[in-house]
Amino acid sequence: MEHRRRLVASLSSAFTLIAVIAAWIAFAPPQLGGRTSYVIVSGNSMEPGMHRGDLAIVRKQDAYVVGEVVTYRHPQIGPVIHRVIDTDGSRFVFQGDNNDFIDPYRPVQAEMIGELWIHVPGAGSWLTRFHSPVYIAGLLFVAFASLGGGTAAVRATRGHRRKQHRKPAPSGAGTRGAPSMNPLLRDWQDTLSILAAAALGLGVLAWVAFNRPTTHEVPADTPYSQSGEFQYTAAAEDGRIYDTGEATSGEPVYRRLSDAVAFRFTYAFEGADASGIGGIYHLVAELGDQSGWRRTIDLTPETAFSGKEFTAEGVLSLPQAQELIAILETQSGVKNDRYSVTITPRVEVSGRIAGTPFEDTFSTAALAMELDDVQLRLARGASTDPLDQLTPRAEGNVSTRVERANTIGLLVVDLPVAAARVLSLAGLGLVLMLSGAFVIALVNQRNEAGMGGSAKLKSPLVMVRGKVPAVRMRVVDVTSLEDLGRIAEQSGAVVLQEARPGFHAYFVHDGELTYRFQAMGMPDIPPAQSRTQGAA
């Protein structure tokens, strides 16, 4: 009976510990390594499902889908709990169930706090009371009082047990002269409880791991870039004013020396996992003035390209440009000191990035120049170096969905599901092997302690049919049958034996104490020494 009580107590302690750890993993906040957050509803935007003062317990997820109620962190107003109604690339579109408008802010994955897990109506209003120092102090007092009472009870119980065992026992009641026993076998209830708790924890981990896919798709932005380089040259009647004998990129083109300017634009597309890249380009020169007048001169026809690179070349005739300007000035009477000349490739590109189709333009590719009666030169910007526009660049993103490994949150550790499956199965196999080895060792140990030892007893041995009556409330377990025999010899008492299939125990009554030795296996009792009596 005592072994059964110890086993039940050990199993209860182990399972309680597992339950506490599981609850901690499930409900611990992010500040303590968990994935659970607690949100108090402060508005009516989610009515009728949720009301002001309700408590929403949310858990952070690896992915969120349309239709879920999710809390996100707004950069100005803090946590907002609304429903996901759509996605916009890598951003999520939210709307309150009671709202007739869509949330203007669209958070990204990193701004998500968690998906609604548990909804507790009215609990938020109750929790807000603890913002008061009086309530917090009362809660702490109750917690410490409970902890102190439990600790005192445990100490009192332990102290009572120590007092019970302080009574002097006859020589042989201890372990003197007894064979040493492995602590794992001596306290087999605790060992068995640890193995059972490990099996339970690994079993729960296996159940979770095998009920969750190993991967999931999440929205992601796959970047790409477009870059280009403008070049121009102009042959001069007298090239001595240029280092190369002609005007080149970045230098002014003097109209007395040159009538034409040759432009060249080189394009390059860069992107991971890009395929089917192609499109069209159209190199043009656009004349304009400050009033908004615009006139376009084609330098190349609209041309299709395939691949990530192309080169466009065209020639601008300065007399042709001047002729168009003269028509404007004659017909409108407007005269300007200078006119703008913008060289634009007008690129339209399309293809696939990571399997997702996309379309884009290269709107930032434009070479701004100024034309007056003397020269054509790069436009002088107030904040940038004119030469910077010779190498335009544009960045873009394609919203895709990529596969990511699913994980199981274990406090501060995010264990991949695939690894959790292997770990749980390997752990269960190891626990099973250890349990088998432990049971075999325990049976062997008890058999060795109990088999054949009765032949060495000098005191009379009485076999009892049924259970030995508990004539004394205080029982002392000894570690070997030889120790029990020495106690019986010193006190002049008989040794009572209780035998059952696969189990037997020996008892010696001595005053206020009952000494006991228990063993597994069938006893080996010499017939000449044993006597039988019925249990009272």
What SS3 string covers 471-518? CCCEEEECCCHHHHHHHHHHHCCCEEEEEECCEEEEEEEECCEEEEEE
Pick from 423, 506, 413, 405: nearest CA to 459: 506
Q: Where are the beta strands (DSSP E) in 239-338?
A: 246-247, 253-254, 260-271, 274-281, 284-288, 294-298, 303-306, 309-317
Distance CA 8, CA 389 (A): 81
In the three-class reduction of DSSP (H, G, I as helix; E, B as strand; rest coil), residue 209 is classed as helix
Mean pLDDT in residue range 443-460: 59
At 413 the pLDDT is: 74
The amino acid occupying position 128 is: T
At 187 the pLDDT is: 58
At 444 the pLDDT is: 67
Same domain, 188 and 273: no
Q: In this structure, what is the dihedral angle of CA atoms 238, 242, 243, 248, given to the nearest 10 degrees?
A: -120
Same domain, 229 and 95: no
- Confidence band of 503 (pLDDT split at 50, 70, 90): low
Distance CA 146, CA 157 (A): 17
- Report whether 79 contacts 5 (CB < 8 A): no
Mean pLDDT in residue range 289-315: 95
- Confidence band of 153 (pLDDT split at 50, 70, 90): very low
Quick check: 53 pLDDT over 60? Answer: yes
**Residue 484, C-beta contacts closer than 8 angstroms, at least 6 positions apart:** 172, 478, 495, 506, 508, 515, 516, 517
Q: Which of 132-146, 231-245, 347-361 shows the lowest per-residue confidence on average (mean pLDDT)?
A: 132-146
- Confidence band of 98 (pLDDT split at 50, 70, 90): very high
Same domain, 195 and 223: no
Quick check: 50 pLDDT over 70? Answer: yes
Pick from 121, 39, 51: nearest CA to 81: 39
Same domain, 254 and 291: yes
Which tokens in the block code for residue 344?
Answer: 């634009």
Strands 55-59 and 112-120: antiparallel
Most confidently predicted of 180-189, 294-303, 385-394: 294-303
| Structural domain count, the chain | 4
Most confidently predicted of 170-174, 215-219, 519-523: 215-219
Q: How far is Cα of residue 300 from the mean position of the Cα atoms in its chain?
A: 54
- Confidence band of 92 (pLDDT split at 50, 70, 90): very high
At 408 the pLDDT is: 78
Position with higher pLDDT, 43 vs 1: 43
Quick check: 144 pLDDT over 70? Answer: no
Quick check: 226 pLDDT over 80? Answer: yes
Beta partners for residue 314, in sequence order:
263
Q: Is residue 321 part of a domain?
A: yes
In the three-class reduction of DSSP (H, G, I as helix; E, B as strand; rest coil), residue 399 is classed as strand
Q: Is residue 138 part of a domain?
A: no
Same domain, 12 and 82: no
Same domain, 282 and 419: no
- Confidence band of 26 (pLDDT split at 50, 70, 90): confident
Which tokens in the block code for residue 312?
Answer: 């466009």
At 531 the pLDDT is: 44
Q: Which of 17-31, 185-199, 270-284, 306-320 shows the lowest per-residue confidence on average (mean pLDDT)?
A: 185-199
- Confidence band of 18 (pLDDT split at 50, 70, 90): confident
In 10 A of CB 211, how many CB atoms?
A: 8
At 326 the pLDDT is: 93
Percent of the chain with pLDDT over 70: 76
Which tokens in the block code for residue 233?
Answer: 């040259």
What is the side-by-side order of every strand in the sheet holding 78-88? Answer: 36-40, 55-59, 112-120, 69-74, 78-88, 91-95
Which tokens in the block code for residue 501?
Answer: 């299939």
Distance CA 401, CA 479 (A): 66
**Residue 496, C-beta contacts closer than 8 angstroms, at least 6 positions apart:** 462, 464, 468, 506, 507, 508, 509
Position with higher pLDDT, 404 vs 363: 363
- Report whether 54 contacts 124 (CB < 8 A): yes
Domain that holds residue 371: 219-404
Mean pLDDT in residue range 344-349: 96
Averaged pLDDT of the chain: 79
Q: Which of 54-68, 452-466, 479-493 shows the lowest per-residue confidence on average (mean pLDDT)?
A: 452-466
At 68 the pLDDT is: 92
- Report whether 360 contacts 396 (CB < 8 A): yes
User: What value, to the nearest 5°, has the Cα angle with vertex 136 and ends 132 and 138?
Assistant: 120
- Confidence band of 267 (pLDDT split at 50, 70, 90): very high
Last residue of a domain, one of 420, 449, 478: 449
Q: Is residue 357 part of a domain?
A: yes
Most confidently predicted of 89-103, 142-156, 462-476: 89-103
Q: 133-140: long-range contacts at Cβ-Cβ below 8 A with a sequence spacing of 24 or more?
A: none
Same domain, 347 and 313: yes
Same domain, 441 and 508: no
At 403 the pLDDT is: 78
- Report whether 272 contacts 308 (CB < 8 A): no
Q: Is the peptide bond before 48 cis (omega within 30 degrees of 0)?
A: yes
Most confidently predicted of 145-149, 211-215, 286-290: 286-290
Q: Is residue 154 part of a domain?
A: no
Residue 49, CB half-sphere, CA atoms under 13 Å: how many?
15
In the three-class reduction of DSSP (H, G, I as helix; E, B as strand; rest coil), residue 83 is classed as strand
At 388 the pLDDT is: 86
Same domain, 363 and 228: yes
Quick check: 209 pLDDT over 50? Answer: yes
- Confidence band of 532 (pLDDT split at 50, 70, 90): very low
- Confidence band of 154 (pLDDT split at 50, 70, 90): very low
Same domain, 98 and 110: yes
Same domain, 329 and 435: no
At 528 the pLDDT is: 41
Q: Is residue 494 part of a domain?
A: yes
Same domain, 350 and 479: no
Residue 177, CB half-sphere, CA atoms under 13 Å: how many?
13
- For residue 152, the surrounding DSSP H or E stretch is helix 133-164
